[in-house]
A and B are shown apart, each in its own frame.
Chain A
Amino acid sequence: MADPLLKVENLRIEFPTRRGTLVAVDDISLHINKGEVLGVVGESGAGKSLTGASIIGLLEPPGRIAAGQILLDGKRIDNLPYEKMRQIRGREIGAIFQDPLTSLNPLYSVGFQLIETIQTHLPMDKQQARQRAIDLLAEVGIPAPERRIDHYPHQFSGGMRQRVVIALALCANPKLIIADEPTTALDVSIQAQIIALLKRLCRDHGTAVMLVTHDMGVIAETADRVAVMYAGRIAEIGPVKEVIKDGKHPYTHGLMGSIPILGHDTEKLTQIEGAMPRLTDIPTGCAYNPRCPKVFDRCYRDRPDLLDAGTTRAACWLYDDDAKAAAAVTGETAHV
């Protein structure tokens, strides 16, 4: 198989603060192949956005990559000078941020911003660039794009702004798209349209997508594989169907169980009790141990790395061969 388009190896992101160094992302490795969508889900604050930001070189200081490397097409991109990275960003990697306002300048019309971005990366004159901008707006489902193109960001609804940001990311046909909650502000039918658009890009242009979202429905429909993050680490990674339907990590279970389901009348939604630990006091051993219903003594002692758990890989001692063997002796199964 061909080399993956994106490779992240042992990534560690730190924030030096007055109160000591915070480790927000701790030893994450993942890859994305051409034409593939990797979904990234997980607890709020788990480090999903920071991972995305470090791939496009937009980690804001004092945040810094403290260890590990990031490779695009086999070439390191985590140590490039600013100007070099700026060219890659937009041209080779398109970014859709969680916060549409950081990507849009309130002082310029959306058309101005789209045309400028298009002309930075593609050899087009003003007229061609304007036409491409209108086409892109139409593609992301903005009605009457030839009129809307001259409007300012504040004149758009939340979901429409989000779509303008998506159009901006697609301007130069990038090879890799980092999409951080791209459909969060969108209603289901526009969501379907954006997802269809992302899938079409993957299929027709071999674009690879890292899709960060909380919406499991979107993941189920779009992603090929999913990474589940918890407290700065990957808890589980594997094919989408296996992770959603038959997740192995106890946190994955808790997460899937919290999804409200249409037509189920429950007074109270299932929730995982407790909160994710603060970065300053991550427990020793497995970070999920205070909330885990399956916790056992080893979980307090040693930190699990990703282990083979059948169809997926899970960072959980239940899937350690020793534990499996011990469980077999006592007649229990290690299956969660």
Chain B
Amino acid sequence: MSEVAEKMSPDPTKIGADAETVLDVQGLKRYFDVSPPFLNRLIERTDKAFLKAVDGIDFRIERGETFSLVGESGCGKSTVARLVVGLYSPTGGSVTFEGQEIGGLSRKELVPVRRRMQMIFQDPYASLNPRWRVEDIIAEPIRFFGLTNNNNETLQRVGELLQLVNLSPKDMEKYPHEFSGGQRQRISIARALASEPDFLVCDEPTSALDVSVQAQILNLMKDLQKRLNLTYLFISHNLAVVYHMSDHIGVMYLGRLAEVAPAKTLFEKPRHPYTKLLLDTIPDLDMTGRERVPVAGEVPNPINPPSGCAFHPRCPFANDRCKAERPEPIKMPDGAAVACHGVEEGRIPEGPISGIASQDI
């Protein structure tokens, strides 16, 4: 692990030297024990099994920026999000928020951090208490952190927050089950904004929303960001949304960062073969009749990941070195960082992999 941390460039994404770092993630790891029960192990003579959901990643986010994580389902994005807000403790590495390392903090020590850092969860159903009314759900952080002087002010604030996400103050008295999926998602966004955080972790914040509400929420998020200088860690599989929102983007593959780059650079000049493939699979609104090619090859198993570069079984450029040696991120002159032997050796051609010109960028 220390060897990994040393090899990593300390600031793969940082361009301006004087920007203030809000979040600094170094060598972050999280393994889950997914062993069969002890007795089965004894009988079947199997070893303990660990799933390396996040396996050594570094990135940092400057104040006022949006950093996005993209990558296939199961690659570890939500796990990173949960590590960052302290819901999981890291197996290795560190998460530093505004200069304070939060990895080892207790629940109590986390309280002041919590107000400044909020999370919008991927699953709006699981994250809202079904027995609470919307009023209590949104007012809870306001009351907990004592952000208002009296109950009237609190209710006023809850009403404003509801309007902010395009619901009505009258919705306060209802319970979560009385709302549609997208309406619930907006309630969790209102709740996340309630404590006036300056850093927001947004795990698929708009994927349950129709495009017009999505546009409203994304516009709202950008507007708040500008007005209040908010910093976002943003997760979405909708690449058009990611493109619209991000300053920097990290592409994850099987618990590692394949490529980190400024948003525009990543879309205009994807370097890592996996990034290229990911961009090739964007759904096509033009209805050219193009059948999307699902990324070929076996979807990898994080319990038993491929040796060397985890992408090698699916990569058209894989060679013996790729099978044996794990690539570490290498810094590019334009601020990108790419973990790929092929890129280092200059043998990955430019342009889309599939040969089909698929995005009109």
Cβ contact within 8 Å between B73 and A144 = no
Tell me which residues from 240 to 282 in chain A have a Cβ below 8 Å from any Cβ of chain B: 240-241, 244-245, 254-256, 258-263, 266-272, 275, 278, 280
Q: Could you tell me if A184 and B359 are in contact, using CB atoms closer than 8 angstroms?
A: no
Given contacts A157-B78, A190-B72, A217-B285, contact A44 B183 (CB under 8 A): yes
Question: How far, in angstroms, from A155 to B240 measured CA to CA in the complex?
Answer: 29
Complex interface bits, B31-71 against A, C-beta within 8 A gives 1, otherwise 0: 01010100000000000000100000000000000000011
- Give chain A residues whose Cβ lies under 8 Å from the Cβ of B212: 43, 254-255, 258, 271-272
Complex interface: chain B residues within 8 A of A255 (CB): 210-212
Do the beta carbons of A192 and B182 come within 8 Å of each other?
Answer: no
Checking A188, A260, A270, A272 against B237 with a beta-carbon cut-off of 8 angstroms, the contacting residue is A188
Residue A75, interface by CB 8 Å: no
Chain B residues near A275 (CB-CB < 8 A): 166-168
| Assembly CA distance A31 to B166 (angstroms) | 32
Q: Which residues of A contact B123 (CB under 8 A)?
A: 99-101, 158
| Given A99-B181, A181-B208, A215-B283, A189 contacting B294 (CB threshold 8 A) | yes
CB-based A-B contact count at 8 angstroms? 198
Chain B residues with CB under 8 A of A151: 34
8 Å CB interface, A316-335 against B: none
A268 to B226, CA, bound (A): 12
What's the least CB distance linking B99 to chain A, in Å?
31
Q: Cα distance A150–B49 when bound, in Å?
A: 13
Is A192's CB under 8 angstroms from B281's CB? Answer: yes
Asked if A144 and B303 sit within 8 Å, CB to CB, the answer is: yes
Q: Contact mask A146-175 → B, CB, 8 Å, 1/0?
A: 010011000111111001000000000000
Residues of B within 8 A of A150 (CB): 36
Asked if residues A185 and B204 are in contact (CB atoms below 8 Å), the reply is: yes
Find out whether the CB atom of A158 lies under 8 angstroms from the CB atom of B204.
yes
Which residues of chain B are within 8 angstroms of A214 by Cβ–Cβ distance? 182, 207-211, 214
Once the chains bind, are A160 and B240 in contact (CB under 8 Å)? no
**A187 x B214 contact (CB < 8 A):** no
**Are A186 and B237 in contact, with the CB atoms below 8 A?**
yes
Residues 67-83 of B at the A interface (beta carbon under 8 Å): 70-74, 78
Structural contact, A185 and B183, CB atoms closer than 8 A:
no
Contacting residues of chain B (177-197) with chain A, CB-CB under 8 angstroms:
177, 179-183, 186
Q: In the complex, what's the smallest C-beta–C-beta distance from A143 to chain B, in angstroms?
A: 4
A141 adjacent to chain B (CB < 8 Å): yes
Contacts of A100 in B (CB 8 A): 123
The contact of A271 among B215, B278, B292, by CB within 8 Å, is B215
Interface centre among B70, B182, B222, B293 (most CB of A within 10 A): B182
The one of A147, A158, A240 that contacts B73, using a Cβ cutoff of 8 Å: A158
What residue in chain A is nearest B40 (Cβ atoms)?
A: A150
> Could you tell me the distance between the alpha carbons of A233 and B198 in the complex, rounded to whole angstroms?
40
Chain B residues within 8 Å of A181, by CB: 181, 208
Q: Decide if A262 touches B361 in the complex (CB within 8 Å).
A: yes
Residue of A nearest to B209 (CB): A44
Partner of B215, one of A184, A185, A270: A270
- B301 proximal to A (CB < 8 A): yes
Are A45 and B125 in contact, with the CB atoms below 8 A? no
* Nearest Cβ on chain B to A253's Cβ, whole angstroms: 11
- Count of interface residues, chain A, beta-carbon cutoff 8 Å: 71
Knowing A144-B304, A192-B293, A262-B359 are in contact, say whether A159-B73 is a contact too (CB < 8 A): yes
Q: Name the CB-closest residue of A to B76.
A: A157
**Is the Cβ of B170 less than 8 Å from the Cβ of A262?**
no
Measured between C-beta atoms, what is the minimum distance from A290 to chain B in Å? 14
Which A-chain residue is minimally distant from B77 (CB atoms)? A157
Name the interface residues of B113-157: CB closer than 8 Å to any CB of A: 122-123, 125-126
Known: A185-B204, A187-B73, A260-B218. A216 touches B239 (CB 8 A): no
A217 touches B284 (CB 8 A): yes
Which residues of the other chain, B, contact A260 by a CB distance below 8 angstroms? 214-215, 218, 238, 240-241, 243-244
Q: Is the CB of A49 within 8 A of B122?
A: no
Q: Inside 8 A of A142's CB, which chain B residues have their CB?
A: 299
A24 to nearest B CB, angstroms? Answer: 9
Expressed in whole angstroms, the Cα–Cα distance for A196 and B301 within the complex equals 22
Assuming A45-B183, A263-B359, is B215 touching A269 (CB within 8 A)? yes
**CB of B298 within 8 A of chain A?**
yes
- Which A residue's beta carbon lies closest to that of B296? A189
Q: Once the chains bind, are A143 and B208 in contact (CB under 8 Å)?
A: no
Partner of B125, one of A101, A192, A270, A271: A101
Pairwise interchain contact B287-A241, C-beta atoms closer than 8 A: yes
Residues of B within 8 A of A42 (CB): 210
Complex-state Cα separation, A100 to B208, whole angstroms:
13
A41 interfacial contact with B, CB 8 Å: yes
How far, in angstroms, from A196 to B281 measured CA to CA in the complex? Answer: 13
Q: A272 vs B182: C-alpha distance in the bound complex, in angstroms?
A: 16
A contact residues around B295 at 8 Å (CB): 189
Q: Bound state CA distance, A181 and B184, in angstroms?
A: 15
Partner pick for A185 among B122, B170, B216, B298, CB 8 A cutoff: B122
14 contacting pairs across A/B (C-beta < 8 A): A100-B123, A143-B301, A159-B74, A189-B281, A192-B293, A214-B182, A244-B287, A254-B212, A259-B240, A260-B243, A261-B240, A268-B219, A269-B219, A275-B166
Beyond the given A181-B181, A221-B283, please list 9 additional residue pairs across the A-B interface where CB-CB is below 8 A.
A45-B180, A99-B125, A189-B295, A190-B294, A196-B291, A255-B211, A260-B214, A262-B240, A262-B282
Residues of A within 8 A of B (CB): 41-46, 48-49, 60, 98-102, 141-144, 147, 150-151, 155-160, 163, 181, 184-193, 195-196, 214-218, 220-221, 240-241, 244-245, 254-256, 258-263, 266-272, 275, 278, 280
